[in-house]
Amino acid sequence: MARGRFITLEGGEGAGKSTQARRLATWLAEAGLPVLRTREPGGSPGAEAIRGVLLGAGPWDPVAETMLHFAARREHVARMIEPALAAGIWVVCDRFADSTLAYQVAGQGTQRAVWDRLAAMALGALRPDLTLVLDIPAEAGLARAEARGETNRYETLGLAFHGRIRDAFLAVAAAEPGRCAVVDATQGLEAVTHAMRGVVRQRLLDR
């Protein structure tokens, strides 16, 4: 059986990741592919429990916070993502390890070497086949998230913090163009969906 493909959506607050992850998973399912849509932090019972801790309490020591994100990710990978991929299921994941690089390393000052060590332990050789970086200026993304009426702890960390997050995602995309594609998330919903489908077709479906 062919292994499933692993697609991650990354980007700052309010970029539209959750909305577009739903649309992408539905589109792939309509094309006849078996699909698991999931999210981080969370995605499995243990990881969802850690999500509650991460989004609810704080502030954390940055290294402790990085470890909590990777502990959740390890649970998620071991119990959900790897078994799905091995069973031929395509996985669409709303945030993954690049978010820890952006938020905890670029945003909160954890050393990159800590990320590297935790990623090696938690992920082994697992890497997304495709990462769609939904790019939007921090101010516009935060305005969308605020307009929705719910805010989490990270959304209150200020524009300078969220500007570093955006730069970090763009740096990942520039460093790994074979894995990543940047999508202009300031466009309307339909235009973003259309752009994402074009990338998925070109990089994964037409090959």
Interacting residues toward ligand T5A by CB under 6 A = 11, 13-19, 40-41, 69, 95, 99-100, 103-104, 144-145, 148, 152, 154-155, 188-189, 192
Q: Which is nearer to ligand T5A, 60 or 82 (CB)?
A: 60
* Cβ atoms 99, 40 nearer than 8 A: yes
Q: How far apart are CA 172 and CA 164, in angstroms?
A: 12
Q: How far apart are CA 16 and CA 9, in angstroms?
A: 9
Closest CA to 94 of 81, 82, 107: 81
Q: How far apart are CA 18 and CA 69, in angstroms?
A: 18
Q: Whose structure tokens read 């939904």?
A: 134
The CB-nearest residue to ligand T5A is 16
Give the nearest distance from C-beta 88 to ligand T5A in angstroms.
Answer: 25
Q: Which is nearer to ligand T5A, 121 or 207 (CB)?
A: 121
Closest CA to 19 of 143, 179, 189: 189
Q: Which is nearer to ligand T5A, 35 or 138 (CB)?
A: 138
Give the nearest distance from C-beta 50 to ligand T5A in angstroms.
Answer: 11
Q: Which is nearer to ligand T5A, 34 or 158 (CB)?
A: 158
Q: How far apart are CA 25 and CA 129, in angstroms?
A: 15
Q: Which is nearer to ligand T5A, 3 or 194 (CB)?
A: 194
Give the nearest distance from C-beta 205 to ligand T5A in angstroms.
Answer: 23
Give the nearest distance from C-beta 162 to ligand T5A in angstroms.
Answer: 9
Helix intervals (H) in 15-81:
17-30, 45-56, 62-76
Give the nearest distance from C-beta 60 to ligand T5A in angstroms.
Answer: 10
